[in-house]
């Protein structure tokens, strides 16, 4: 697996969704996935640094019906420290593999992951072929120009997002499970 290529793909995906800054996305013509229009009432629970305290981070979600397929995308803010951007993205297409994308970005360090699951519970990191396939699919989605609607009926995707976040943290060993 080419880590540099994966990092580039992950950053490109988050930039194309206007989650992180980009020189190729015109925010006057594109809406960020983090727009308040897509903010969901659900949150992602994280243990706080203070014992017994739980911090709740935001979740956004959008969906698009295309070619008789329903595409749902959930974005979770996984940041613990505001100086480090940390996001998990889930892309779900009915009757297709589900992809999870994770980005940790700071001035000092960066970490990225693209993983896939067939059942929403058992994740595996993507090899270069699956990364390229996912990128091609995301480029096709981007061509729809964000004709998105706020997610509805997304409990299954939210559970998969939490499962993916746990998988990421198991692989990188940097957090407690959610």
Q: Quote the tokens at residue 104.
A: 């940790």
Q: What is the pLDDT of residue 176?
A: 44
pTM value? 0.88
Strand (E) or helix (H) holding 136: helix 128-142
Note whether 138 and 13 are within 8 A (CB): yes
> Strand ranges (DSSP E) for the chain?
39-47, 54-66, 69-77, 85-93, 98-105, 110-117, 123-125, 149-150
pLDDT in tens, 25-65: 666 667 788 999 999 999 999 877 777 788 899 999 999 87
- Residues 8-23 as b/e (b if ≥16 CB within 10 A, e otherwise) read ebbbbbbebbbbbebe
Torsion 20-113-142-119 (CA) sign: negative
């Amino acid at each position: 697996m080419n880590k540099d290529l994966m990092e580039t793909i992950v950053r490109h995906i988050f930039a194309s969704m206007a989650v992180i800054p980009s020189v190729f996305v015109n925010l006057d013509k594109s809406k960020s996935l983090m727009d308040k229009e897509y903010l969901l009432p659900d949150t992602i629970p994280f243990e706080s640094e203070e014992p017994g305290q739980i911090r709740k981070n935001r979740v956004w979600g959008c969906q698009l019906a295309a070619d008789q397929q329903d595409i749902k995308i959930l974005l979770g803010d996984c940041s613990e420290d505001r100086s480090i951007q940390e996001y998990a993205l889930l892309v779900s297409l009915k009757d297709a593999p589900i992809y999870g994308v994770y980005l940790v970005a700071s001035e000092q360090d960066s970490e990225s992951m693209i993983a896939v699951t067939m059942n929403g519970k058992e994740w595996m990191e993507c090899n270069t072929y699956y990364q390229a396939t996912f990128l091609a699919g995301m480029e096709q989605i981007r061509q729809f120009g964000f004709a998105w609607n706020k997610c509805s009926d997304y409990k299954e995707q939210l559970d998969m997002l939490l499962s993916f976040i746990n998988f990421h943290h198991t692989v990188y060993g940097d957090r407690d499970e959610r």
